[in-house]
Structure 1
Amino acid sequence: MRRITIAVLALIIVGMLIPMGFATDSNLIITYGETTYADSAYKSNVDSFFINQAGVDLANVESKIITADQVNKVSGAITGKYYSSGQILSSALLDLNDNDNLEVSVDKSKITTVTGDMYISALKSAGITAGHVYVTSPVEATGESALAGIMNAYEQVTNVEIPESVKEAASDEIYTQAEIVENSGVDADKLSAMVSDVKEQVAADNVTDHDTIVNIINTYVQNNNINITNVDVENLADSIEQVQNVQGDVNYYKEQVDGFLNDGSSGGFSLDGLLDWIKSFVSGI
Protein backbone atom coordinates (compact mmCIF):
# COMPACT_ATOMS: atom_id res chain seq x y z
CA MET A 1 0.00 0.00 0.00
CA ARG A 2 2.81 2.41 0.88
CA ARG A 3 4.45 1.81 -2.51
CA ILE A 4 1.19 2.50 -4.34
CA THR A 5 0.63 5.68 -2.33
CA ILE A 6 4.11 6.93 -3.20
CA ALA A 7 3.62 6.02 -6.86
CA VAL A 8 0.31 7.94 -6.96
CA LEU A 9 2.00 10.91 -5.32
CA ALA A 10 4.77 10.75 -7.92
CA LEU A 11 2.20 10.76 -10.72
CA ILE A 12 0.61 13.85 -9.21
CA ILE A 13 4.04 15.48 -9.15
CA VAL A 14 4.52 14.59 -12.82
CA GLY A 15 1.21 16.23 -13.63
CA MET A 16 2.33 19.36 -11.85
CA LEU A 17 5.75 19.41 -13.51
CA ILE A 18 4.88 18.72 -17.12
CA PRO A 19 3.39 22.15 -17.91
CA MET A 20 6.48 23.83 -16.48
CA GLY A 21 9.15 21.37 -17.53
CA PHE A 22 7.95 21.26 -21.11
CA ALA A 23 7.27 24.97 -21.51
CA THR A 24 10.45 25.16 -23.62
CA ASP A 25 12.51 22.64 -25.52
CA SER A 26 15.94 22.82 -23.89
CA ASN A 27 17.62 21.62 -27.09
CA LEU A 28 16.32 24.55 -29.13
CA ILE A 29 17.38 28.18 -28.95
CA ILE A 30 17.23 31.27 -31.17
CA THR A 31 19.81 34.04 -31.10
CA TYR A 32 18.50 37.28 -32.57
CA GLY A 33 20.72 40.11 -33.74
CA GLU A 34 19.76 43.08 -31.59
CA THR A 35 18.68 45.14 -34.63
CA THR A 36 16.32 42.38 -35.71
CA TYR A 37 14.90 41.84 -32.22
CA ALA A 38 14.17 45.55 -31.77
CA ASP A 39 12.04 45.73 -34.94
CA SER A 40 8.80 43.73 -34.79
CA ALA A 41 8.56 43.43 -38.59
CA TYR A 42 12.17 42.24 -38.81
CA LYS A 43 11.63 39.72 -36.03
CA SER A 44 8.44 38.42 -37.64
CA ASN A 45 10.30 37.96 -40.93
CA VAL A 46 13.05 35.95 -39.22
CA ASP A 47 10.58 33.91 -37.19
CA SER A 48 8.71 32.94 -40.36
CA PHE A 49 11.91 31.56 -41.86
CA PHE A 50 12.63 29.46 -38.77
CA ILE A 51 9.07 28.12 -38.61
CA ASN A 52 8.99 27.20 -42.30
CA GLN A 53 12.50 25.72 -42.45
CA ALA A 54 12.79 24.01 -39.07
CA GLY A 55 9.13 23.18 -38.49
CA VAL A 56 9.22 24.28 -34.85
CA ASP A 57 6.76 26.00 -32.56
CA LEU A 58 8.60 29.14 -31.50
CA ALA A 59 6.44 29.39 -28.41
CA ASN A 60 8.54 26.52 -27.07
CA VAL A 61 11.90 27.98 -28.04
CA GLU A 62 14.12 30.04 -25.75
CA SER A 63 15.77 33.11 -27.28
CA LYS A 64 18.74 35.36 -26.63
CA ILE A 65 19.81 38.70 -28.07
CA ILE A 66 23.27 39.18 -29.57
CA THR A 67 24.47 42.76 -29.19
CA ALA A 68 26.92 44.89 -31.12
CA ASP A 69 29.19 44.90 -28.06
CA GLN A 70 29.40 41.10 -28.13
CA VAL A 71 30.19 41.06 -31.85
CA ASN A 72 32.67 43.93 -31.65
CA LYS A 73 34.62 42.21 -28.90
CA VAL A 74 35.63 39.66 -31.53
CA SER A 75 35.41 41.50 -34.85
CA GLY A 76 37.29 44.56 -33.64
CA ALA A 77 40.30 42.51 -32.61
CA ILE A 78 40.29 40.49 -35.84
CA THR A 79 39.39 42.91 -38.62
CA GLY A 80 39.30 46.31 -36.94
CA LYS A 81 35.64 46.60 -37.98
CA TYR A 82 33.13 47.77 -35.40
CA TYR A 83 29.35 47.62 -35.74
CA SER A 84 26.62 49.82 -34.32
CA SER A 85 23.54 48.50 -32.55
CA GLY A 86 21.64 49.10 -35.80
CA GLN A 87 23.80 46.71 -37.81
CA ILE A 88 23.43 43.38 -35.99
CA LEU A 89 20.85 41.65 -38.16
CA SER A 90 21.90 38.01 -38.59
CA SER A 91 19.91 35.57 -36.48
CA ALA A 92 20.22 31.82 -35.91
CA LEU A 93 18.19 28.89 -34.64
CA LEU A 94 20.05 25.95 -33.11
CA ASP A 95 18.31 22.57 -32.98
CA LEU A 96 20.26 19.98 -31.00
CA ASN A 97 17.44 17.43 -31.15
CA ASP A 98 19.03 16.47 -34.47
CA ASN A 99 22.59 15.80 -33.28
CA ASP A 100 23.77 12.97 -35.52
CA ASN A 101 25.93 15.36 -37.54
CA LEU A 102 26.46 19.07 -38.13
CA GLU A 103 24.24 20.80 -40.67
CA VAL A 104 23.80 24.51 -41.42
CA SER A 105 20.91 25.85 -43.51
CA VAL A 106 21.49 29.41 -44.71
CA ASP A 107 18.87 31.76 -46.13
CA LYS A 108 20.77 32.59 -49.32
CA SER A 109 18.27 35.30 -50.25
CA LYS A 110 19.40 37.33 -47.23
CA ILE A 111 22.87 36.12 -46.17
CA THR A 112 25.15 37.48 -48.87
CA THR A 113 28.67 36.41 -47.92
CA VAL A 114 29.04 33.60 -45.38
CA THR A 115 27.94 30.20 -46.70
CA GLY A 116 26.72 27.14 -44.86
CA ASP A 117 30.04 25.41 -45.50
CA MET A 118 31.92 28.38 -44.01
CA TYR A 119 29.86 28.12 -40.82
CA ILE A 120 30.38 24.35 -40.69
CA SER A 121 34.15 24.73 -41.14
CA ALA A 122 34.39 27.39 -38.43
CA LEU A 123 32.18 25.44 -36.02
CA LYS A 124 34.26 22.31 -36.55
CA SER A 125 37.33 24.42 -35.79
CA ALA A 126 35.64 25.09 -32.45
CA GLY A 127 35.06 21.38 -31.82
CA ILE A 128 31.35 21.50 -32.70
CA THR A 129 30.27 18.54 -34.82
CA ALA A 130 26.54 18.08 -34.16
CA GLY A 131 23.26 19.95 -34.42
CA HIS A 132 21.23 21.69 -37.12
CA VAL A 133 21.70 25.46 -37.41
CA TYR A 134 19.45 27.78 -39.41
CA VAL A 135 20.75 31.27 -40.30
CA THR A 136 18.81 34.19 -41.73
CA SER A 137 18.36 37.96 -41.61
CA PRO A 138 15.34 40.22 -42.23
CA VAL A 139 17.32 42.16 -44.87
CA GLU A 140 20.58 41.48 -46.70
CA ALA A 141 23.54 40.97 -44.36
CA THR A 142 26.97 39.36 -44.65
CA GLY A 143 26.19 36.80 -41.96
CA GLU A 144 29.44 37.37 -40.06
CA SER A 145 27.77 38.33 -36.79
CA ALA A 146 25.69 35.12 -36.76
CA LEU A 147 28.68 33.02 -35.68
CA ALA A 148 28.83 34.80 -32.31
CA GLY A 149 25.17 33.95 -31.80
CA ILE A 150 25.59 30.34 -32.89
CA MET A 151 28.46 29.72 -30.48
CA ASN A 152 26.50 31.48 -27.73
CA ALA A 153 23.57 29.18 -28.48
CA TYR A 154 25.72 26.06 -28.14
CA GLU A 155 26.97 27.31 -24.78
CA GLN A 156 23.42 27.97 -23.61
CA VAL A 157 21.99 24.62 -24.69
CA THR A 158 24.89 22.43 -23.55
CA ASN A 159 25.87 24.52 -20.50
CA VAL A 160 29.50 24.10 -21.61
CA GLU A 161 31.53 27.25 -22.19
CA ILE A 162 33.64 27.47 -25.34
CA PRO A 163 37.18 28.65 -24.48
CA GLU A 164 37.83 32.23 -25.59
CA SER A 165 40.88 31.14 -27.59
CA VAL A 166 38.67 28.75 -29.56
CA LYS A 167 35.97 31.37 -30.16
CA GLU A 168 38.58 33.79 -31.47
CA ALA A 169 40.09 31.19 -33.82
CA ALA A 170 36.70 30.17 -35.23
CA SER A 171 35.61 33.81 -35.60
CA ASP A 172 38.89 34.73 -37.27
CA GLU A 173 38.27 31.98 -39.81
CA ILE A 174 34.81 33.36 -40.69
CA TYR A 175 35.92 36.99 -40.85
CA THR A 176 39.01 36.18 -42.93
CA GLN A 177 37.03 34.23 -45.50
CA ALA A 178 34.25 36.84 -45.63
CA GLU A 179 36.78 39.61 -46.21
CA ILE A 180 38.44 37.67 -49.05
CA VAL A 181 35.08 36.95 -50.71
CA GLU A 182 34.03 40.60 -50.48
CA ASN A 183 37.37 42.08 -51.60
CA SER A 184 38.64 39.53 -54.12
CA GLY A 185 35.40 38.26 -55.55
CA VAL A 186 36.55 34.65 -55.21
CA ASP A 187 33.81 32.01 -55.25
CA ALA A 188 32.76 31.45 -51.63
CA ASP A 189 32.23 27.70 -52.04
CA LYS A 190 35.66 27.21 -53.61
CA LEU A 191 37.30 29.23 -50.86
CA SER A 192 35.48 27.31 -48.13
CA ALA A 193 36.44 23.97 -49.68
CA MET A 194 40.06 25.07 -49.84
CA VAL A 195 40.15 26.17 -46.20
CA SER A 196 38.54 22.90 -45.10
CA ASP A 197 41.01 20.79 -47.12
CA VAL A 198 44.05 22.78 -46.00
CA LYS A 199 42.98 22.59 -42.34
CA GLU A 200 42.59 18.84 -42.70
CA GLN A 201 46.10 18.48 -44.15
CA VAL A 202 47.61 20.79 -41.54
CA ALA A 203 45.93 18.83 -38.74
CA ALA A 204 46.93 15.45 -40.20
CA ASP A 205 50.58 16.50 -40.49
CA ASN A 206 50.47 18.51 -37.24
CA VAL A 207 51.87 21.57 -39.03
CA THR A 208 52.42 24.67 -36.90
CA ASP A 209 54.97 26.51 -39.05
CA HIS A 210 53.51 29.54 -40.83
CA ASP A 211 55.62 29.25 -43.98
CA THR A 212 54.70 25.59 -44.40
CA ILE A 213 51.00 26.47 -44.19
CA VAL A 214 51.54 29.22 -46.79
CA ASN A 215 53.15 26.67 -49.11
CA ILE A 216 50.25 24.25 -48.65
CA ILE A 217 47.77 27.02 -49.50
CA ASN A 218 49.76 28.16 -52.55
CA THR A 219 49.93 24.61 -53.88
CA TYR A 220 46.17 24.23 -53.46
CA VAL A 221 45.52 27.63 -55.10
CA GLN A 222 47.62 26.73 -58.13
CA ASN A 223 46.18 23.25 -58.53
CA ASN A 224 42.59 24.47 -58.29
CA ASN A 225 42.90 27.77 -60.17
CA ILE A 226 41.73 29.96 -57.29
CA ASN A 227 42.41 33.65 -57.79
CA ILE A 228 43.44 35.23 -54.48
CA THR A 229 46.24 37.64 -53.60
CA ASN A 230 49.41 36.97 -51.64
CA VAL A 231 47.91 39.03 -48.82
CA ASP A 232 44.86 36.75 -48.84
CA VAL A 233 47.14 33.71 -48.64
CA GLU A 234 49.02 35.20 -45.69
CA ASN A 235 45.78 36.03 -43.88
CA LEU A 236 44.41 32.54 -44.45
CA ALA A 237 47.68 31.02 -43.22
CA ASP A 238 47.45 33.15 -40.05
CA SER A 239 43.86 32.01 -39.51
CA ILE A 240 44.59 28.30 -40.05
CA GLU A 241 47.71 28.53 -37.89
CA GLN A 242 45.61 30.01 -35.10
CA VAL A 243 43.11 27.14 -35.39
CA GLN A 244 45.95 24.64 -35.21
CA ASN A 245 47.50 26.32 -32.18
CA VAL A 246 44.32 26.07 -30.08
CA GLN A 247 43.73 22.35 -30.67
CA GLY A 248 44.44 21.57 -27.02
CA ASP A 249 41.58 23.87 -25.96
CA VAL A 250 39.36 22.52 -28.76
CA ASN A 251 39.88 18.93 -27.63
CA TYR A 252 39.14 19.84 -24.01
CA TYR A 253 35.89 21.53 -25.03
CA LYS A 254 34.96 18.74 -27.43
CA GLU A 255 35.31 16.10 -24.71
CA GLN A 256 32.83 17.94 -22.51
CA VAL A 257 30.28 18.76 -25.18
CA ASP A 258 30.49 15.24 -26.64
CA GLY A 259 29.57 13.92 -23.20
CA PHE A 260 26.47 16.12 -23.25
CA LEU A 261 25.47 14.97 -26.73
CA ASN A 262 26.05 11.32 -25.95
CA ASP A 263 23.89 11.61 -22.85
CA GLY A 264 21.12 12.95 -25.10
CA SER A 265 19.89 15.41 -22.50
CA SER A 266 20.47 18.96 -21.39
CA GLY A 267 20.76 18.06 -17.75
CA GLY A 268 17.29 19.30 -16.97
CA PHE A 269 14.10 17.54 -15.91
CA SER A 270 13.90 13.94 -17.18
CA LEU A 271 10.43 12.43 -17.50
CA ASP A 272 11.90 9.02 -18.38
CA GLY A 273 13.98 9.07 -15.24
CA LEU A 274 10.99 9.92 -13.08
CA LEU A 275 8.85 7.25 -14.72
CA ASP A 276 11.57 4.67 -14.08
CA TRP A 277 11.58 5.76 -10.44
CA ILE A 278 7.81 5.28 -10.26
CA LYS A 279 8.05 1.83 -11.85
CA SER A 280 10.58 0.79 -9.26
CA PHE A 281 7.99 1.37 -6.52
CA VAL A 282 5.14 -0.31 -8.38
CA SER A 283 7.22 -3.39 -9.19
CA GLY A 284 8.56 -3.55 -5.64
CA ILE A 285 12.24 -3.21 -6.63
Structure 2
Amino acid sequence: MRKISIGMIILSIIIIGMLIPVGFSGQVDPVVITYGETTHANHEYKATVDNFFKTQSNADLSKANSKIITADDVNKISSSITGKTYSSSQIFSSALVDLNDNDKLEVSVDKSTITTITGDMYLSALKSSGITSGHVYVTSPVVATGESALAGIMNSYEVATNVEIPDTVKEAANNEIYTEAEIVENSNVSADDLSKLVDDVKETVQKENVTDHTTIVNIIYNYTVVNNINITNNDIENLASSIEQIQNVQGDINNYETEVNNVLNSSEVNSAKGLLDGLFG
Protein backbone atom coordinates (compact mmCIF):
# COMPACT_ATOMS: atom_id res chain seq x y z
CA MET A 1 0.00 0.00 0.00
CA ARG A 2 1.29 3.40 -0.95
CA LYS A 3 2.06 6.01 1.66
CA ILE A 4 0.30 9.31 1.18
CA SER A 5 2.09 12.42 2.29
CA ILE A 6 0.37 15.31 4.06
CA GLY A 7 1.51 17.50 1.18
CA MET A 8 -0.38 15.37 -1.32
CA ILE A 9 -3.55 15.56 0.78
CA ILE A 10 -3.30 19.34 1.05
CA LEU A 11 -2.66 19.61 -2.69
CA SER A 12 -5.71 17.48 -3.40
CA ILE A 13 -7.91 19.66 -1.18
CA ILE A 14 -6.67 22.78 -2.95
CA ILE A 15 -7.34 21.24 -6.36
CA ILE A 16 -10.91 20.30 -5.39
CA GLY A 17 -11.51 23.80 -4.11
CA MET A 18 -10.33 25.24 -7.40
CA LEU A 19 -12.38 22.87 -9.54
CA ILE A 20 -15.75 22.90 -7.80
CA PRO A 21 -17.65 25.91 -9.19
CA VAL A 22 -18.95 28.60 -6.85
CA GLY A 23 -22.74 28.54 -6.65
CA PHE A 24 -23.06 24.96 -7.92
CA SER A 25 -26.77 24.16 -7.61
CA GLY A 26 -27.42 20.72 -9.07
CA GLN A 27 -26.63 18.03 -11.60
CA VAL A 28 -27.19 18.55 -15.31
CA ASP A 29 -29.99 16.53 -16.91
CA PRO A 30 -28.54 16.57 -20.43
CA VAL A 31 -31.62 15.93 -22.61
CA VAL A 32 -35.04 17.46 -21.97
CA ILE A 33 -38.11 17.51 -24.23
CA THR A 34 -41.03 19.87 -23.80
CA TYR A 35 -44.21 18.91 -25.65
CA GLY A 36 -47.02 21.31 -26.43
CA GLU A 37 -50.03 19.93 -24.59
CA THR A 38 -52.06 19.54 -27.81
CA THR A 39 -49.25 17.52 -29.34
CA HIS A 40 -48.74 15.34 -26.26
CA ALA A 41 -52.45 14.49 -26.09
CA ASN A 42 -52.52 13.17 -29.66
CA HIS A 43 -50.61 9.94 -30.29
CA GLU A 44 -49.98 10.66 -33.98
CA TYR A 45 -48.84 14.22 -33.29
CA LYS A 46 -46.44 13.07 -30.59
CA ALA A 47 -45.05 10.34 -32.85
CA THR A 48 -44.42 12.92 -35.59
CA VAL A 49 -42.57 15.19 -33.19
CA ASP A 50 -40.54 12.33 -31.73
CA ASN A 51 -39.56 11.19 -35.23
CA PHE A 52 -38.17 14.67 -35.99
CA PHE A 53 -36.16 14.64 -32.79
CA LYS A 54 -34.82 11.14 -33.49
CA THR A 55 -33.74 11.91 -37.04
CA GLN A 56 -32.27 15.35 -36.31
CA SER A 57 -30.49 14.77 -33.00
CA ASN A 58 -28.25 12.09 -31.56
CA ALA A 59 -30.25 12.05 -28.34
CA ASP A 60 -31.69 8.87 -26.84
CA LEU A 61 -35.33 9.86 -26.33
CA SER A 62 -35.93 6.91 -24.02
CA LYS A 63 -33.58 8.53 -21.51
CA ALA A 64 -34.83 12.08 -21.99
CA ASN A 65 -36.68 13.95 -19.29
CA SER A 66 -39.95 15.29 -20.66
CA LYS A 67 -42.48 17.88 -19.64
CA ILE A 68 -45.78 19.18 -21.04
CA ILE A 69 -46.14 22.88 -21.80
CA THR A 70 -49.75 23.93 -21.26
CA ALA A 71 -51.78 26.84 -22.55
CA ASP A 72 -51.61 28.29 -19.05
CA ASP A 73 -47.79 28.24 -19.22
CA VAL A 74 -47.82 30.11 -22.53
CA ASN A 75 -50.58 32.53 -21.52
CA LYS A 76 -48.68 33.63 -18.43
CA ILE A 77 -46.20 35.15 -20.84
CA SER A 78 -48.13 35.96 -24.00
CA SER A 79 -51.14 37.65 -22.40
CA SER A 80 -48.99 40.31 -20.77
CA ILE A 81 -47.06 40.95 -24.00
CA THR A 82 -49.53 40.65 -26.87
CA GLY A 83 -52.89 40.23 -25.16
CA LYS A 84 -53.25 36.88 -26.93
CA THR A 85 -54.54 33.89 -25.03
CA TYR A 86 -54.34 30.30 -26.22
CA SER A 87 -56.60 27.33 -25.53
CA SER A 88 -55.40 23.83 -24.68
CA SER A 89 -56.09 22.83 -28.31
CA GLN A 90 -53.61 25.38 -29.71
CA ILE A 91 -50.26 24.44 -28.14
CA PHE A 92 -48.41 22.41 -30.76
CA SER A 93 -44.78 23.59 -30.77
CA SER A 94 -42.36 21.21 -29.07
CA ALA A 95 -38.66 21.45 -28.30
CA LEU A 96 -35.72 19.25 -27.39
CA VAL A 97 -32.69 20.66 -25.57
CA ASP A 98 -29.50 18.61 -25.67
CA LEU A 99 -26.78 19.81 -23.32
CA ASN A 100 -24.40 17.10 -24.45
CA ASP A 101 -23.62 19.56 -27.24
CA ASN A 102 -22.60 22.44 -25.01
CA ASP A 103 -19.58 23.98 -26.71
CA LYS A 104 -21.82 26.63 -28.26
CA LEU A 105 -25.50 27.41 -28.70
CA GLU A 106 -27.20 25.98 -31.81
CA VAL A 107 -30.85 25.95 -32.87
CA SER A 108 -32.37 23.64 -35.50
CA VAL A 109 -35.92 24.49 -36.59
CA ASP A 110 -38.31 22.31 -38.60
CA LYS A 111 -38.98 24.82 -41.37
CA SER A 112 -41.74 22.64 -42.85
CA THR A 113 -43.98 23.37 -39.85
CA ILE A 114 -42.53 26.36 -37.96
CA THR A 115 -43.46 29.19 -40.30
CA THR A 116 -42.62 32.48 -38.59
CA ILE A 117 -39.91 32.15 -35.95
CA THR A 118 -36.53 31.21 -37.41
CA GLY A 119 -33.57 29.51 -35.80
CA ASP A 120 -31.75 32.83 -35.69
CA MET A 121 -34.66 34.45 -33.84
CA TYR A 122 -34.63 31.73 -31.18
CA LEU A 123 -30.86 31.98 -31.02
CA SER A 124 -30.97 35.73 -30.48
CA ALA A 125 -33.69 35.54 -27.81
CA LEU A 126 -31.89 32.76 -25.94
CA LYS A 127 -28.62 34.67 -25.98
CA SER A 128 -30.54 37.68 -24.67
CA SER A 129 -31.51 35.45 -21.74
CA GLY A 130 -27.95 34.48 -20.91
CA ILE A 131 -28.19 31.02 -22.53
CA THR A 132 -25.03 30.33 -24.51
CA SER A 133 -24.72 26.54 -24.91
CA GLY A 134 -26.66 23.45 -25.92
CA HIS A 135 -28.39 22.30 -29.10
CA VAL A 136 -32.08 23.17 -29.40
CA TYR A 137 -34.49 21.44 -31.80
CA VAL A 138 -37.93 22.93 -32.48
CA THR A 139 -40.82 21.33 -34.37
CA SER A 140 -44.59 20.99 -34.54
CA PRO A 141 -46.86 18.26 -35.91
CA VAL A 142 -48.89 20.90 -37.79
CA VAL A 143 -48.08 24.32 -39.21
CA ALA A 144 -47.47 26.80 -36.38
CA THR A 145 -45.80 30.18 -35.93
CA GLY A 146 -43.44 28.83 -33.26
CA GLU A 147 -44.05 31.76 -30.90
CA SER A 148 -45.08 29.55 -28.00
CA ALA A 149 -42.02 27.28 -28.35
CA LEU A 150 -39.71 29.69 -26.53
CA ALA A 151 -41.63 29.07 -23.29
CA GLY A 152 -40.92 25.37 -23.69
CA ILE A 153 -37.27 25.87 -24.60
CA MET A 154 -36.64 28.01 -21.54
CA ASN A 155 -38.50 25.50 -19.38
CA SER A 156 -36.25 22.77 -20.79
CA TYR A 157 -33.16 24.67 -19.68
CA GLU A 158 -34.62 25.08 -16.20
CA VAL A 159 -35.34 21.34 -15.94
CA ALA A 160 -31.95 20.41 -17.43
CA THR A 161 -29.85 22.62 -15.17
CA ASN A 162 -32.07 22.98 -12.10
CA VAL A 163 -31.55 26.74 -12.36
CA GLU A 164 -34.63 28.94 -12.66
CA ILE A 165 -34.65 31.71 -15.25
CA PRO A 166 -35.84 34.98 -13.66
CA ASP A 167 -39.35 36.01 -14.73
CA THR A 168 -38.03 39.39 -15.84
CA VAL A 169 -35.66 37.66 -18.25
CA LYS A 170 -38.33 35.28 -19.57
CA GLU A 171 -40.67 38.16 -20.28
CA ALA A 172 -37.98 40.19 -22.04
CA ALA A 173 -36.90 37.26 -24.25
CA ASN A 174 -40.46 36.32 -25.14
CA ASN A 175 -41.30 39.93 -25.86
CA GLU A 176 -38.44 39.93 -28.36
CA ILE A 177 -39.86 36.85 -30.12
CA TYR A 178 -43.44 38.13 -30.17
CA THR A 179 -42.38 41.56 -31.43
CA GLU A 180 -40.36 40.08 -34.29
CA ALA A 181 -43.17 37.65 -35.19
CA GLU A 182 -45.69 40.47 -35.37
CA ILE A 183 -43.44 42.56 -37.62
CA VAL A 184 -42.74 39.64 -39.98
CA GLU A 185 -46.43 38.78 -40.24
CA ASN A 186 -47.56 42.37 -40.86
CA SER A 187 -44.81 43.74 -43.11
CA ASN A 188 -42.74 42.86 -46.16
CA VAL A 189 -39.49 42.36 -44.26
CA SER A 190 -38.07 38.84 -44.29
CA ALA A 191 -37.47 36.99 -41.04
CA ASP A 192 -33.75 36.71 -41.85
CA ASP A 193 -33.36 40.43 -42.54
CA LEU A 194 -35.24 41.35 -39.38
CA SER A 195 -33.23 38.93 -37.27
CA LYS A 196 -29.96 40.41 -38.54
CA LEU A 197 -31.25 43.92 -37.88
CA VAL A 198 -32.14 43.04 -34.29
CA ASP A 199 -28.76 41.37 -33.70
CA ASP A 200 -26.89 44.39 -35.07
CA VAL A 201 -28.90 46.81 -32.95
CA LYS A 202 -28.54 44.73 -29.79
CA GLU A 203 -24.79 44.48 -30.32
CA THR A 204 -24.49 48.26 -30.65
CA VAL A 205 -26.81 48.96 -27.72
CA GLN A 206 -24.98 46.55 -25.44
CA LYS A 207 -21.54 47.72 -26.52
CA GLU A 208 -22.44 51.35 -25.86
CA ASN A 209 -24.60 50.48 -22.82
CA VAL A 210 -27.57 52.42 -24.17
CA THR A 211 -30.79 52.42 -22.13
CA ASP A 212 -32.47 55.59 -23.45
CA HIS A 213 -35.50 54.76 -25.60
CA THR A 214 -35.06 57.60 -28.08
CA THR A 215 -31.42 56.71 -28.66
CA ILE A 216 -32.36 53.07 -29.33
CA VAL A 217 -35.04 54.23 -31.78
CA ASN A 218 -32.43 56.28 -33.65
CA ILE A 219 -30.00 53.33 -33.76
CA ILE A 220 -32.71 51.08 -35.23
CA TYR A 221 -33.71 53.72 -37.77
CA ASN A 222 -30.10 54.15 -38.89
CA TYR A 223 -29.72 50.40 -39.42
CA THR A 224 -32.95 50.25 -41.44
CA VAL A 225 -31.64 52.98 -43.74
CA VAL A 226 -28.19 51.42 -44.16
CA ASN A 227 -29.65 47.96 -44.86
CA ASN A 228 -32.62 49.20 -46.90
CA ILE A 229 -35.16 47.58 -44.57
CA ASN A 230 -38.68 48.96 -44.81
CA ILE A 231 -40.59 48.78 -41.53
CA THR A 232 -43.02 51.27 -40.03
CA ASN A 233 -42.28 53.81 -37.33
CA ASN A 234 -44.58 51.79 -35.07
CA ASP A 235 -42.47 48.68 -35.73
CA ILE A 236 -39.33 50.63 -34.84
CA GLU A 237 -40.93 51.85 -31.61
CA ASN A 238 -41.95 48.31 -30.66
CA LEU A 239 -38.48 46.94 -31.41
CA ALA A 240 -36.92 49.74 -29.36
CA SER A 241 -39.16 48.93 -26.40
CA SER A 242 -38.24 45.25 -26.67
CA ILE A 243 -34.49 45.92 -26.79
CA GLU A 244 -34.79 48.52 -24.02
CA GLN A 245 -36.50 45.90 -21.85
CA ILE A 246 -33.60 43.51 -22.40
CA GLN A 247 -31.11 46.22 -21.44
CA ASN A 248 -33.04 47.00 -18.26
CA VAL A 249 -32.83 43.41 -17.00
CA GLN A 250 -29.16 42.93 -17.90
CA GLY A 251 -28.25 42.45 -14.26
CA ASP A 252 -30.69 39.53 -13.93
CA ILE A 253 -29.39 38.09 -17.21
CA ASN A 254 -25.78 38.24 -16.04
CA ASN A 255 -26.61 36.59 -12.71
CA TYR A 256 -28.51 33.78 -14.43
CA GLU A 257 -25.74 33.24 -16.98
CA THR A 258 -23.15 32.95 -14.22
CA GLU A 259 -25.24 30.49 -12.23
CA VAL A 260 -26.11 28.24 -15.15
CA ASN A 261 -22.53 28.23 -16.47
CA ASN A 262 -21.38 27.05 -13.05
CA VAL A 263 -23.72 24.08 -13.38
CA LEU A 264 -22.71 23.30 -16.96
CA ASN A 265 -19.04 23.47 -16.02
CA SER A 266 -19.54 21.17 -13.06
CA SER A 267 -18.11 18.32 -15.11
CA GLU A 268 -14.82 19.62 -13.79
CA VAL A 269 -15.77 18.00 -10.48
CA ASN A 270 -15.49 14.63 -12.22
CA SER A 271 -11.98 15.58 -13.35
CA ALA A 272 -11.10 16.31 -9.73
CA LYS A 273 -12.52 12.98 -8.65
CA GLY A 274 -10.43 11.19 -11.26
CA LEU A 275 -7.33 12.97 -10.04
CA LEU A 276 -8.05 11.97 -6.47
CA ASP A 277 -8.66 8.39 -7.49
CA GLY A 278 -5.19 8.45 -8.97
CA LEU A 279 -3.72 9.84 -5.77
CA PHE A 280 -5.52 7.59 -3.31
CA GLY A 281 -6.24 4.49 -5.39
Query: Normalised by the shorter chain, which TM-score bucket?
Result: 0.7 to 0.9
- Alpha-carbon distance, 1:227 to partner: 1.3
* Conserved 8 A contact 2:100-2:134: yes
1:211–1:53 Cα change, 3 Å: same
1:107 is aligned to 2:110: yes
Unaligned runs of 5+ in 2: 2-27
Give the aligned partner of residue 78 of structure 2: 75
CA–CA distance in 2 between the matches of 1:96 and 1:56?
10
Gaps of 5+ in 1: 2-24
1:171 equivalent to 2:171? Answer no
SS across alignment from 1:238: helix
Corresponding position of 1:182: 185
CA distance in 1, matches of 2:132, 2:276: 33
Report if the CA contact (8 A) 2:29-2:159 is conserved: no
Q: Is the 8 A contact 2:59 2:98 kept in 1?
A: no
Q: What residue is the counterpart of 1:162 in the other structure?
A: 165
3-state SS of 1:55 partner: coil
Q: Where does 1:109-258 land on structure 2 (aligned, <5 Å)?
A: 109-258=112-261
Cα offset, 1:55, TM superposition: 2.4
Alignment match of 1:27 (pick from 27, 30, 40): 30
Deviation, 1:276, is 7.0
* Cα deviations by residue, 1:223-260 (Å, 9 ceiling, x for unpaired): 11111111100000000000000001001111101111
Secondary structure, aligned partner of 1:108: coil
Q: CA deviation at 1:277?
A: 7.2
Q: What residue identity is the alignment partner of 1:63?
A: S
In the TM superposition, residue 195 of structure 1 has moved relative to its aligned partner by 0.4
C-alpha deviations, 1:199-231, integer Å up to 9, x for none?
A: 010011111110000000000011111111111
Which residue of the partner structure matches residue 262 of structure 1? 265
In structure 1, give the amino acid aligned to 2:49: V
Deviation, structure 1 residue 58: 1.0
Letter paired with 2:219: I
Equivalent residue in structure 2 for 1:60, among 49, 53, 63: 63
Q: Which runs of 4+ in 1 moved over 3 A?
A: 272-281
Instruction: State the TM-score, normalizing by the size of structure 2.
Output: 0.87
Q: What is aligned with 1:22?
A: none
Alignment of 1:91 with 2:105, yes or no, is no
SS across alignment from 2:155: helix
Aligned-residue sequence identity (percent) comes to: 66
After superposition, the Cα gap between the structure-2 partners of 1:204 and 1:274, relative to the gap in structure 1 and judged at 3 Å, is: closer
* Structure-1-length-normalised TM-score: 0.85
